[in-house]
Structure 1
Amino acid sequence: MKRSCVLNRTTTETTIALSLNIDGSGIANVNTGVGFFDHMLTLFTKHGKFDLTIDATGDNADNHHAIEDIGILLGKAFYQALGDKAGINRYAFQFTPMDEALCRTCVDISGRSYLVFDVPLTREFIGDFEAELLEEFFIAFTTNSKMTLHVASLYGTNNHHIVEGIFKSLGRTLKNACYIEAGNKEIPSTKGIIE
């Protein structure tokens, strides 16, 4: 079964084309119009061993609309590409150091959207990325992927390192949660279904 998805989203605020292959090799071709965010999604893709292409154009208000809408589309892509979720690990977590920072991500591909976000940042901008948009991205992603996600910065002083650690950690966490052991076709829920 090929676990991939191609989606497009056009609103009065953004135009986004996205393709995702969960069982890829870590190839990213990302153009969001926000250099720092491109870097984070590239790291996420590399460490998750996904293949991800995003071409996004936002309005000139600020980066909010593009970042949020990319979260929406990426969440929908994971939800659709995972299909009935037969055989997946479902749960995974990862502690990831990035120099002085330590980050943790935990995921449950449960069919229930929930975000716990504990990432205190001290800068308004990291490069061209508004720091407050990090949480907005994850809200949009979890809502549309129907995953439970806990994201925490356990400690660290450099905001770039903290956010980079989070995206690397999330890539590795999702790689492990999406992994299917050969021959396993069981739905990982006592309900027999994950919607």
Structure 2
Amino acid sequence: MSSKSVSPRWAAMARDTNETKIQIALNLDGGDFPPDTDSRLTSAKEEGHASQASKSQIISVNTGIGFLDHMLHALAKHAGWSLALNCKGDLHIDDHHTAEDVCITLGYAFAQALNSMAGLARFGYAYAPLDEALSRAVIDLSNRPYSSFAQGARVTLHVDCLRGENDHHRAESAFKALAIAVRQATTKVAGREGEIPSTKGTLSA
């Protein structure tokens, strides 16, 4: 039996611009946060609609946009992550800067926490329903990104809402499908330890 310890897949960072001030801590496998987690996150454990703590996960999201908090909470919950995220943005102007910067920062944290692709499944897909809505998410941890979270995380991502009438249900089913697909793609595959899941032999170029 190997005595090698497994490195935690976690990240903590801050991103400050003239439009937003963001602190984030992420653990892809749930559980505790990195020791260097910003004290603004650990001291602001607000109880709210986007906060939850269990023996396997800690989730606390506060962006100032209630619906975004709700979606990120669903993403973290169903992906199996621990996520602490706080953002102070220029909401007096609009929601755009906050929503975009939060997703970019989450992507950066995801990429840093993932670190190596070796031994991972690489691909993930999932369908998730919510009442009348149905969404599909497909992800490739390929280092060829597409938009916002995907650019920050350096992944290829496709999310389609296949049906639904209620916009809340459509959005939430999409976030849940993404969560399950991400969890699948980042799963460590037994017997493939150290192997890069690509015929090219690299996913960094």
Aligned: 1:79 with 2:111: yes
Structure 1: gaps (5+ residues): 115-138
Aligned 1:53-64 pairs, distance under 5 A: 53-59=84-90, 60-64=92-96
Counterpart residue number, 1:27: 58
Counterpart code for 2:169: H
Counterpart code for 1:180: K
- For 2:183 and 2:58, the matched residues in 1 are separated by 14
- What is the Cα deviation at residue 191 of structure 1? 1.9
Indicate the structure whose relative CO is greater, using CA pairs within 8 Å and at least 6 residues apart: 1
Aligned: 1:194 with 2:180: no
The DSSP-based 3-state class of the residue aligned with 2:83 is: strand
The DSSP-based 3-state class of the residue aligned with 1:162 is: helix
- For 2:80 and 2:137, the matched residues in 1 are separated by 17
TM normalised by structure 1 equals 0.85
- For 1:27 and 1:157, the matched residues in 2 are separated by 32
CA distance change for structure 1 residues 104 and 26 in 2, over 3 Å: closer, same or farther?
farther
Counterpart residue number, 2:137: 105
Counterpart residue number, 2:52: none
- Identity fraction in percent: 45
TM normalised by structure 2 equals 0.81
CA offsets, 1:53-83, max 9 Å, x none?
Answer: 1010001211111110011101111111111
Contact 1:100 1:156 survives alignment (8 Å): yes
- For 2:116 and 2:137, the matched residues in 1 are separated by 23
More moved, 24-33 vs 82-91: 24-33
- What is the Cα deviation at residue 141 of structure 1? 0.7
- What is the Cα deviation at residue 9 of structure 1? 0.4
Contact 1:84 1:193 survives alignment (8 Å): no
CA distance change for structure 1 residues 64 and 38 in 2, over 3 Å: closer, same or farther?
same
- For 1:176 and 1:54, the matched residues in 2 are separated by 23
- What is the Cα deviation at residue 189 of structure 1? 1.0
Counterpart residue number, 2:77: 46
- For 2:190 and 2:70, the matched residues in 1 are separated by 33
What is the Cα-based RMSD across aligned positions, in Å?
Answer: 1.0
Counterpart residue number, 2:11: 5
CA offsets, 1:22-54, max 9 Å, x none?
Answer: 011343110000111111111111100001110
- What is the Cα deviation at residue 94 of structure 1? 0.4
- For 1:30 and 1:154, the matched residues in 2 are separated by 28
- For 1:8 and 1:142, the matched residues in 2 are separated by 18
- For 1:96 and 1:69, the matched residues in 2 are separated by 26
Alignment size in residue pairs: 171
Pair member with larger Rg:
2
